[in-house]
Amino acid sequence: MTSQDRAYAVHEAGHAVVAWALERTVVRVCIDPERSHGETVAGPKDDPPSDRDRAICLAGIVANDMLRAPGPASLGRGDRICFFHDLTPDMSEEERNSLKRKACALARKNLSAHVGMLEAVATALEQDRMLDRAAFERIAEKYRRRTGDEGAVR
């Protein structure tokens, strides 16, 4: 296992755990550091995009920062979920930055509340490279049983 594996695993785990905490179904999470690729597939976005979507979008880089697992500069650009601009169409820079701050705070709050879950998902991803919905649910169930904790922090 390399620090690169760890960076990708923490990044995708961040997206997945915030999606889960904000009551989105996590369908699949995977990392492929050799191809500079990682992906989190979660339930459909709100229309129009909401604070929840924007928090999930920024959760990857927030997780890298929180767990001090910095990745290569390209990390977060390769996965479509990170395209914050797509979630803030037709906005001024000022509006966009304000939504960005709000989304970062929401992501950070939910990741802080569920650091144990973040660690568990990142470790599983480092080992297995891919978690399907059932595998992710098993981790979540174990985490709930251990902590009795499942609520979102809004």
Among 76, 103, 114, 118, binds Zn ion (CB under 5 A): 76
Q: Determine, following the binding rule CB under 5 A, whether residue 82 of this chain makes contact with Zn ion.
A: yes
**Which residues, including other chains, have CB under 8 Å from residue 142's CB and lie 6 or more apart?**
120
- CB 11 to Zn ion: min, Å: 6
Nearer to Zn ion, 5 or 79 (CB): 79
What span, in angstroms and rounded, lies between the C-alpha atoms of 80 and 85? 11
Q: Determine, following the binding rule CB under 5 A, whether residue 140 of this chain makes contact with Zn ion.
A: no
Nearer to Zn ion, 40 or 140 (CB): 40
Site string for Zn ion, 46-65 (x = CB under 5 A): --------------x-----
Tokens of 52: 């929840």
Return the range that interacts with Zn ion (CB under 5 A); candidates 62-70, 81-89, 92-100, 136-144. Answer: 81-89
What span, in angstroms and rounded, lies between the C-alpha atoms of 74 and 8? 11
Distance of CA 32 to the CA centre of its chain: 16
Is 136 exposed, middle or buried, given 0-12, 13-18 or 19+ CB atoms closer than 10 A? buried
Q: What is the binding site for Zn ion (CB under 5 A)? A: 60, 76, 79, 82
